[in-house]
Amino acid sequence: MDHFLDIESLDDSTIGQLLERSAGLIGGQRPRALDGSIANLFCEPSTRTRVSFELAARAAGLDVVNIDLQNSSATKGESLDDTARTLAAMGIAAIVLRHPRDRAAAELACALDGGPCPVRIINAGDGIHAHPSQALLDAATLEQAGVDWHRLRVAIVGDIRHSRVARSDVALFARLGAAEIRIAGPEEFLPPAGQMPAAIRFDRLDPALDGVDAVICLRIQRERISADFPQPDAYHQRWGVNVERLARLAPKAHVLHPGPVNRNIEIADAVVDGPQSLILDQVRNGVHARTALFEHLLAGPKPGRPVWSRTTSRRNAE
Ligand code: CP
């Protein structure tokens, strides 16, 4: 694995190794010591993803450069490709990219591959296309909570259409063998017909929640919508996950949200802070999942070769 671009480009073995290592780190295993520097290149706002990539890198002993785009030479007309080439020429081993354009990470990887300064590209969210490290930490959090993928019924609710998290979660949960994946939202927030074929579509919230073992709530992605937004109160009434609606879920079902949360719009205050919420576990596990990712990308003798196995993982834990 030279780059980390989306779930679809990962093989099953890599997914298994990343999740197993994430679980080990969540359970207290120590990060491997890595050498080198990575750069956070965020062309869209972020709190969780940017900070957790930085903490993950530091935990593994990597130096971190946070590019301040407003004060970078991008303001003088330098292209994204040339900015990345410049960082690579200075010895940056991996660029963590967040970008508003779909597939920007893959395009950057393609532009730099085969050039004089190889660098790994890590997709930290590109447009509505993919947010694969979020999917990884969501899966790690569900595994930590003890889910059995082959029995898991999960509902993803809210603005699915504009959500890169929904796309990556559906792709990963399907690969892991989830028993049933539901997506639910108002018509204008459901993906075009034919997209996300692994998921069952619901245009009403209550039936989508019936009996599920986990619900993932999504905010309205206002930054990607030019049309009028629904009124927050009316939206919450119809599409908000509240305490009354939690009763529809399976007993002890889990509530997740990738953040940032818009309280009392897509999810009620009492649910965010309630006993079934795994939202802060997701945030915490984001650091571990991203540490596992850095290890996988940067620790090997050469890119693409798995650097640890179930045997070495077990040995490290002893
Ligand atoms: N979940 C997520 O991507 O959050 P940030 O936008 O804060 O990074």
Bond before 192 cis per omega within 30 degrees: no
CA of residue 215 to ligand 1 center, whole Å = 18
Structural domains present in the chain: 12-131+283-317 (3.40.50.1370), 146-277 (3.40.50.1370)
What's the pLDDT tens digit per position in 257-289? 999 999 999 999 999 999 999 999 999 999 999
Predicted local confidence at residue 129, as pLDDT: 97
- Under the banding of pLDDT at 50, 70 and 90, the label for residue 155 is very high
Which residue puts its alpha carbon closest to atom 1 of ligand 1?
258
Tokens (6 digits) for 82: 């040339």
132 lines ligand 1 (CB under 6 A): no
309 pLDDT exceeds 90? no
Indicate whether 246 pLDDT > 60. Answer: yes
When pLDDT is cut at 50, 70 and 90, the band that residue 117 belongs to is confident
Pocket test for ligand 1, best of 42, 43, 49, 96 (most atoms within 8 A of CB): 49
Q: Which atom of ligand 1 is nearest to the CA of 259?
A: 1
Round to whole Å and give the CA distance between 242 and 215. Answer: 12
Answer yes or no: is pLDDT of 79 > 90: yes
- % of the chain at pLDDT higher than 90: 88
In this prediction, residue 300 carries a pLDDT of 65
What b/e sequence results for 267-306 when a residue is b if at least 16 CB atoms lie within 10 Å of its CB, and e otherwise? bbeebbeeebbbbebbbebbbbbbbbbbbbbbbeeeeeee
How much is the average pLDDT of 234-250?
97
Report the pLDDT averaged over residues 55-61. Answer: 98
Q: Is the CB of 163 under 6 A from ligand 1?
A: no
In the reported structure, the alpha carbon of residue 285 is separated from the centroid of ligand 1 by a whole-number distance in angstroms of: 13
pLDDT surpasses 70 at 313: no
In angstroms, the CA 181 to CA 208 distance is 10
Asked whether the predicted pLDDT for residue 30 surpasses 60, the reply is: yes
**Is the shortest distance between the CB of 134 and ligand 1 below 6 Å?**
yes
Ligand 1 atom closest to the CA of 98, numbered from 1: 8
- Reported as a pLDDT band with limits 50, 70 and 90, residue 1 is low
Ligand 1 proximity of 100 Cβ (cutoff 6 Å) = no
Judged by average pLDDT, the poorest of 113-117, 225-229, 246-250, 312-316 is 312-316
Q: Which residue has the tokens 């990884």?
A: 136
Ligand 1 binding pocket mutation candidate from 41, 46, 224 (most atoms within 8 A of CB): 46
Residue nearest (by alpha carbon) to ligand 1 atom 3: 49
According to the model, what pLDDT value does residue 227 have?
Answer: 78
Query: pTM for the full model?
Result: 0.93
pLDDT at 142 over 70: yes
Q: Work out the average pLDDT over 59-83.
A: 95
Question: Quick one: pLDDT band at residue 311, thresholds 50, 70, 90?
Answer: very low
Amino acid at 212: V
From the alpha carbon of 49, which atom of ligand 1 is closest? 8
Task: Please list, in sequence order, all residues whose beta carbon lies within 8 angstroms of the beta carbon of residue 212, skipping any fewer than 6 positions away.
Answer: 153, 154, 155, 180, 182, 249, 250, 253
How high does pLDDT run on average in the chain? Answer: 93
Predicted confidence band at 76 (pLDDT cuts at 50, 70, 90)? very high
Question: Which stretches within 243-318 are classed as H helix?
Answer: 243-246, 269-272, 279-298, 310-317
How far apart are the C-alpha atoms of 129 and 101, rounded to whole Å?
8
State in Å: Cα 199 to ligand 1 middle: 23
Cβ contacts of residue 254 below 8 Å, gap of 6+? Answer: 142, 145, 147, 213, 214, 215, 276, 278
pLDDT of residue 257: 98
pLDDT recorded at residue 318 = 42
Q: Please, which pLDDT band fits residue 293 given cuts at 50, 70 and 90? A: very high
